[in-house]
Amino acid sequence: MTKAVCITDEKLASLKGLIDPAENIAVISHMNPDGDAVGACAAMSSFLREYLGKKDVTVVLPDAPGEPLSFVTSLIPKLMVGRRDPEAAAKAIESAGAVFVVDLNRLERTSVLEQAVRLAAAPKVLIDHHPGPEEEPFSLVFSEVNVSSACELIYHILTRICGGAAKLPADCATALMCGMTTDTNNFANSVFPSTLRMASELLEAGVDRDAIVLNLFNSYRTNRIRLMGHMLDKCLRITPEGAAWMLLTKEIKQMFDFHDGESEGFVNIPLASKEIRLSILLTEEDDRIRVSVRSKKGTSAREIAGRFFNGGGHENASGGRLMIPADIPGVSAVEAYVENAIKQCLG
Ligand code: 5GP
Ligand code: MN
């Protein structure tokens, strides 16, 4: 039925054995959480509270999800943010009877939470869809790259436990559809037969996809549309190698009253051109430049993210960062750095 071969009866039994005695459970995901990360946390939280023995579940994220994800975030009743309240976040992790880590393959991706997760005495479970997971800190690992998203993998695990989509708590089902929809960029990439089966079963179970699409893709502030126009008109650079890159500076953020999450999707837009096979969005922050990379099949986003941007991810969707001043002296050095990286990887 499902291609997620990592889900065996033995592992499901271990999972249940590990959850049973735990009263408090912490669910954790990566820095700058995206729709898949927040959806996966919301889904696990709902399932553990409502289906598996009324657990007290705290979702702990390193950073607050952006406003555009407020629909998914609202499905999480108990949320702690590491950067906002580091002590409470660490305590929630350290005192948990079980710790779930979702949508990341290396604990360093939990940034400010990393130490607390490593130190936590409770059994830890990893559920992820990135290549090359760090397995050592975990008692149990569900890792599968042939799925669209962490939410899809969680869907396959939870439906094996509860017997089908119709048995999932409503918030869990909605959150899973949200995460899968954002990670596939609304069914544009990373879609497997099992992804469409999941979508179909969730629709049958009553999930309101129209509301999800409205909330995820058509509920931005108008500023975001104007910012998008500005970036494409004034900032888009196209190189002879068939790469596109854009730099969103602090100055431009200020011009458009930028809120976190409002540039979601920008990196995909240049790939609409026949000539473009790789697209990079760079975003200036206080001590770093955040980097998002997307590519078409046959060109590796992961290679350039790994070699030049201290990051990684999937073959065609990766991310990373340039630290200031360790990697580059400042934004004025971005152009030369990026153009050289593109030449090295695509030239
Ligand atoms: P985004 O561009 O949306 O921030 O990230 C795209 C993909 O790359 C996501 O699947 C994310 O998990 C992965 N990714 C982003 N940043 C990093 C990073 O620093 N290291 C690794 N290993 N993966 C990353
Ligand atoms: Mn994901």
Work out the average pLDDT over 29-34: 98
Closest approach atom of ligand 1 to CA 309:
19
Residue 192 has pLDDT above 90, yes or no: yes
CB 110 within 8 A of CB 104: yes
Residue 5 has pLDDT above 80, yes or no: no
Work out the average pLDDT over 139-168: 98
Domain with CATH 3.90.1640.10 in the chain: 9-217
Q: Could you give the percent of the chain with pLDDT greater than 90?
A: 97
Domain 224-346 CATH class label: alpha beta
Domain with CATH 3.10.310.30 in the chain: 224-346
- With a 6 Å cutoff on the Cβ, whether 183 touches ligand 1 is no
Q: Which range has the worst mean pLDDT, 52-61, 151-160, 167-176?
A: 52-61
- With a 6 Å cutoff on the Cβ, whether 133 touches ligand 1 is no
Domain 9-217 CATH class label: alpha beta
Residue 128 has pLDDT above 50, yes or no: yes
For residue 1, what pLDDT is reported? 45
**270 or 4: whose pLDDT is higher?**
270
- Give the pTM: 0.96
Q: How far apart are CA 322 and CA 149, in angstroms?
A: 26
- Residue-wise pLDDT for 56-96, tens only, equals 999 999 999 999 999 999 999 999 999 999 999 999 999 99
Banded model confidence at residue 195, pLDDT cuts 50, 70, 90: very high
Banded model confidence at residue 2, pLDDT cuts 50, 70, 90: very low
Ligand nearest to the CA of 35: 2
Task: Using most ligand atoms within 8 A of CB, pick from 29, 61, 283, 318 the residue to mutate for ligand 1.
Answer: 318
Q: How far apart are CA 209 and CA 206, in angstroms?
A: 9
Angle formed at CA 78 by CA 74 and CA 79, multiple of 5 degrees? 75
> Mean pLDDT in the chain?
97
Give the alpha-carbon dihedral of 216, 219, 223, 225, to 10 degrees: 70
CB 237 within 8 A of CB 245: yes
- With a 6 Å cutoff on the Cβ, whether 179 touches ligand 1 is no
Q: How far apart are CA 286 and CA 170, in angstroms?
A: 39
Work out the average pLDDT over 193-202: 98
- With a 6 Å cutoff on the Cβ, whether 110 touches ligand 1 is no
Banded model confidence at residue 3, pLDDT cuts 50, 70, 90: low
Q: Could you give the percent of the chain with pLDDT greater than 70?
A: 99
